[in-house]
Amino acid sequence: MAILKILKDNDPMLRKISREVDMISPRIITLLDDMRDTLHKANGCGLAAVQVGVLRRVVIIETENGKLYEMINPVIVERSEEKQHEIEGCLSIPGRWGITCRPKTVTVRAMDRNGNYYTLTGSDLLARAICHETDHLDGILYTDNAERILTKEEMEGLE
Protein backbone atom coordinates (compact mmCIF):
# COMPACT_ATOMS: atom_id res chain seq x y z
CA MET A 1 0.00 0.00 0.00
CA ALA A 2 1.03 3.61 -0.44
CA ILE A 3 0.82 6.77 1.59
CA LEU A 4 -0.72 9.40 -0.67
CA LYS A 5 -0.09 13.14 -0.62
CA ILE A 6 -2.98 15.07 0.94
CA LEU A 7 -3.81 18.22 -1.01
CA LYS A 8 -3.92 21.49 0.94
CA ASP A 9 -6.71 24.07 0.88
CA ASN A 10 -5.06 26.30 -1.71
CA ASP A 11 -5.13 23.49 -4.29
CA PRO A 12 -7.85 24.21 -6.90
CA MET A 13 -8.62 20.49 -7.25
CA LEU A 14 -10.33 20.57 -3.83
CA ARG A 15 -12.98 22.84 -5.37
CA LYS A 16 -13.91 20.43 -8.15
CA ILE A 17 -16.92 18.12 -8.16
CA SER A 18 -15.98 14.45 -8.03
CA ARG A 19 -17.38 12.00 -10.59
CA GLU A 20 -19.37 8.89 -9.70
CA VAL A 21 -17.67 5.52 -9.77
CA ASP A 22 -19.18 3.52 -12.65
CA MET A 23 -17.34 0.28 -11.98
CA ILE A 24 -15.43 -0.97 -8.97
CA SER A 25 -12.13 -1.80 -10.60
CA PRO A 26 -8.85 -2.98 -9.07
CA ARG A 27 -7.79 0.68 -9.27
CA ILE A 28 -10.68 1.68 -6.95
CA ILE A 29 -9.81 -1.12 -4.52
CA THR A 30 -6.19 0.06 -4.46
CA LEU A 31 -7.40 3.63 -3.93
CA LEU A 32 -9.46 2.52 -0.91
CA ASP A 33 -6.50 0.65 0.56
CA ASP A 34 -4.11 3.56 -0.03
CA MET A 35 -6.62 6.04 1.43
CA ARG A 36 -6.90 3.88 4.56
CA ASP A 37 -3.12 3.85 5.00
CA THR A 38 -2.95 7.59 4.36
CA LEU A 39 -5.73 8.28 6.86
CA HIS A 40 -4.01 6.23 9.55
CA LYS A 41 -0.63 7.90 8.89
CA ALA A 42 -2.25 11.35 9.09
CA ASN A 43 -4.17 10.41 12.25
CA GLY A 44 -7.47 11.63 10.81
CA CYS A 45 -11.03 10.34 10.99
CA GLY A 46 -12.06 10.81 7.37
CA LEU A 47 -10.68 11.25 3.88
CA ALA A 48 -12.25 11.88 0.49
CA ALA A 49 -10.56 10.75 -2.73
CA VAL A 50 -10.38 14.32 -3.99
CA GLN A 51 -8.12 15.14 -1.03
CA VAL A 52 -5.52 12.79 -2.51
CA GLY A 53 -5.99 14.09 -6.04
CA VAL A 54 -8.56 11.60 -7.36
CA LEU A 55 -11.86 13.08 -8.58
CA ARG A 56 -14.03 10.08 -7.74
CA ARG A 57 -16.91 9.86 -5.26
CA VAL A 58 -15.03 7.73 -2.74
CA VAL A 59 -14.82 8.38 1.00
CA ILE A 60 -13.43 6.53 3.99
CA ILE A 61 -14.30 7.28 7.61
CA GLU A 62 -12.95 5.84 10.84
CA THR A 63 -14.30 7.59 13.91
CA GLU A 64 -13.72 4.64 16.24
CA ASN A 65 -10.61 2.49 16.25
CA GLY A 66 -11.02 -0.49 14.00
CA LYS A 67 -14.39 0.52 12.48
CA LEU A 68 -13.63 1.71 8.96
CA TYR A 69 -16.45 2.74 6.63
CA GLU A 70 -15.70 2.69 2.92
CA MET A 71 -18.26 4.62 0.90
CA ILE A 72 -18.43 4.61 -2.87
CA ASN A 73 -20.90 7.10 -4.40
CA PRO A 74 -22.26 8.12 -0.97
CA VAL A 75 -25.50 10.10 -0.85
CA ILE A 76 -26.98 11.53 2.33
CA VAL A 77 -30.63 10.48 2.25
CA GLU A 78 -31.77 11.86 5.60
CA ARG A 79 -30.65 14.58 8.03
CA SER A 80 -32.01 15.23 11.49
CA GLU A 81 -33.53 18.59 12.33
CA GLU A 82 -31.46 18.68 15.50
CA LYS A 83 -28.14 20.43 14.93
CA GLN A 84 -24.94 20.52 16.88
CA HIS A 85 -22.28 23.21 16.96
CA GLU A 86 -18.84 21.68 17.25
CA ILE A 87 -15.20 22.32 16.48
CA GLU A 88 -14.21 20.92 13.10
CA GLY A 89 -10.90 20.51 11.32
CA CYS A 90 -9.63 18.97 8.10
CA LEU A 91 -6.52 17.14 6.94
CA SER A 92 -6.42 19.49 3.94
CA ILE A 93 -6.45 22.55 6.21
CA PRO A 94 -3.84 21.66 8.83
CA GLY A 95 -3.57 23.76 11.96
CA ARG A 96 -6.91 25.54 11.52
CA TRP A 97 -10.16 24.78 13.28
CA GLY A 98 -13.63 26.26 13.05
CA ILE A 99 -17.05 26.12 14.63
CA THR A 100 -19.58 24.46 12.34
CA CYS A 101 -23.22 23.49 12.64
CA ARG A 102 -24.04 20.01 11.36
CA PRO A 103 -27.01 17.66 11.75
CA LYS A 104 -26.80 15.52 14.88
CA THR A 105 -27.79 12.42 12.87
CA VAL A 106 -27.54 11.57 9.17
CA THR A 107 -28.30 8.53 7.05
CA VAL A 108 -26.11 7.81 4.03
CA ARG A 109 -26.52 5.30 1.21
CA ALA A 110 -23.35 4.05 -0.44
CA MET A 111 -21.66 1.07 -2.03
CA ASP A 112 -18.94 -1.00 -0.41
CA ARG A 113 -15.84 -2.30 -2.21
CA ASN A 114 -17.80 -5.37 -3.34
CA GLY A 115 -20.47 -3.30 -5.08
CA ASN A 116 -23.10 -3.95 -2.42
CA TYR A 117 -25.33 -1.03 -1.48
CA TYR A 118 -25.84 -0.33 2.20
CA THR A 119 -27.39 2.33 4.41
CA LEU A 120 -25.66 3.71 7.47
CA THR A 121 -27.09 6.01 10.11
CA GLY A 122 -24.59 7.88 12.23
CA SER A 123 -24.81 10.41 15.03
CA ASP A 124 -22.48 12.94 16.59
CA LEU A 125 -18.89 12.55 15.28
CA LEU A 126 -19.84 9.96 12.65
CA ALA A 127 -22.63 12.22 11.33
CA ARG A 128 -20.22 15.16 11.23
CA ALA A 129 -17.61 13.10 9.36
CA ILE A 130 -20.17 11.86 6.82
CA CYS A 131 -21.29 15.43 6.12
CA HIS A 132 -17.71 16.74 6.01
CA GLU A 133 -16.42 14.07 3.63
CA THR A 134 -19.42 14.12 1.29
CA ASP A 135 -19.07 17.92 1.11
CA HIS A 136 -15.52 17.37 -0.20
CA LEU A 137 -17.00 15.40 -3.11
CA ASP A 138 -18.86 18.55 -4.15
CA GLY A 139 -15.89 20.90 -3.77
CA ILE A 140 -17.00 22.26 -0.40
CA LEU A 141 -14.59 22.78 2.49
CA TYR A 142 -15.75 23.09 6.10
CA THR A 143 -14.44 26.67 6.15
CA ASP A 144 -17.09 27.61 3.55
CA ASN A 145 -19.85 27.05 6.10
CA ALA A 146 -18.04 27.62 9.38
CA GLU A 147 -19.70 30.04 11.74
CA ARG A 148 -16.22 31.24 12.54
CA ILE A 149 -12.60 30.14 12.42
CA LEU A 150 -10.89 29.88 15.78
CA THR A 151 -8.17 32.38 16.58
CA LYS A 152 -4.60 31.29 17.25
CA GLU A 153 -5.16 31.90 20.98
CA GLU A 154 -8.31 29.78 21.01
CA MET A 155 -6.51 26.99 19.17
CA GLU A 156 -3.65 27.04 21.66
CA GLY A 157 -6.23 26.63 24.45
CA LEU A 158 -7.40 23.38 22.81
CA GLU A 159 -3.99 21.72 23.01
Reported as a single tens digit per residue, the pLDDT across 14-57 is 999 999 999 999 999 999 999 999 999 999 999 999 999 999 99
What does the alpha-carbon distance between residue 120 and residue 33 come to, in Å, rounded to a whole number?
Answer: 21
Q: Please state the pTM of the whole predicted model.
A: 0.94
Reported as a single tens digit per residue, the pLDDT across 124-133 is 999 999 999 9
What does the alpha-carbon distance between residue 78 and residue 29 come to, in Å, rounded to a whole number?
Answer: 27
- The ranges assigned to domains in the chain are 12-158
Residues serving a catalytic function are 133
CB 110 within 8 A of CB 74: yes
Q: Determine the CATH number of domain 12-158.
A: 3.90.45.10
Reported as a single tens digit per residue, the pLDDT across 99-141 is 999 999 999 999 999 999 999 999 999 999 999 999 999 999 9
Q: Is the pLDDT of residue 159 over 70?
A: no
CB 61 within 8 A of CB 71: yes
- Per-residue model confidence (pLDDT) at position 64: 83
Q: Is the pLDDT of residue 156 over 80?
A: no
